Amino acid sequence: MAILQILQYPDERLHTVAKKVVEVNEVTRKLVRDMAETMYAAPGVGLAATQVDVHERIIVLDISETHDNLMVFINPEILSASGEQAGEEGCLSVPGIYETVRRSGKIKVKALDETGEFFTMEAEGFLAVCIQHEMDHLQGKVFVEYLSQLKQTRLRAKLKKRRREAL
């Protein structure tokens, strides 16, 4: 297994739109394992392939406290969405920044698992937030893009300053 490097906002590669996985095979499964290891090590509750500079529609998630409930979504699609919720979000590509984002309250998703098996799933609450956050990554969208332009400008200045001071 391997821990992969996570792209840091504002890296333009985070805005790449991921392509569908054509065949779920051993290469896919190795990437899924490496993504899971990277997510657990970070630590984070989810990771999209986009964040490790692989532009394919693959997501790993584990919102359990015990880190024993890995969920894999390959070629995920939202079939339906309803309601609304607002919650504080963070992102491994934007460390140390937490902002409230409004999202659908409940979603129904279809995807393939790491064996290539099709499944559908309903999610609400924090799980629904995480799935939407990760699916945004696959479209090249980072959660901070939901903030006002003023907040985004301030955020970029803050990150620049932080990186300067970290050197």
| Residue 130, contacted partner among ligand GNR, Ni ion, none, CB below 5-8 A by kind | ligand GNR
Q: Which residue lies nearer to ligand GNR by CB, 117 or 156?
A: 156
Among 91, 109, 112, 159, binds Ni ion (CB under 5 A): 91
- Active-site residue, 89 included: no
Tell me: does residue 35 bind Ni ion (CB under 5 A).
no
Task: Say how far apart CA 148 and CA 153 lie, in whole Å.
Answer: 9
Binding status of residue 92 toward ligand GNR by CB under 6 A? yes
- Indicate the burial class of 19 (C-beta count within 10 angstroms; 0-12, 13-18, 19 or more): exposed
| Amino acid identity at 52 | V
Return the H-helix or E-strand segment holding 82: strand 71-82
Tell me: does residue 6 bind Ni ion (CB under 5 A): no
DSSP state of 124: E
Tokens 């190795």 sit at which residue? 30
* CB burial readout 67-106, b (16+ within 10 A) else e: eeebbbbbbbeeeeeeeebeeebebbbbeebeeebebbbe
Shortest distance, position 51 Cβ to ligand GNR, whole Å? 6
Region 110-149 residues binding ligand GNR, contact defined as CB under 6 A: 129-130, 133-134, 137
Q: Pick the catalytic residue from 114, 122, 134, 165.
A: 134
In whole angstroms, how close is the CB of 46 to ligand GNR at the nearest point?
Answer: 4
CB of 139 to ligand GNR, least distance (A): 12
Smaller CB separation from ligand GNR, 115 or 162: 162
Identify the CA nearest to 87 among candidates 77, 100, 78, 73.
Answer: 100
Q: CA-based Rg of the chain, rounded to a whole angstrom?
A: 16
Nearer to ligand GNR (CB atom), residue 38 or residue 117: 38
Which residues have a catalytic role annotated? 134
Q: Which residues bind ligand GNR (CB under 6 A)?
A: 44-48, 51, 89-93, 129-130, 133-134, 137
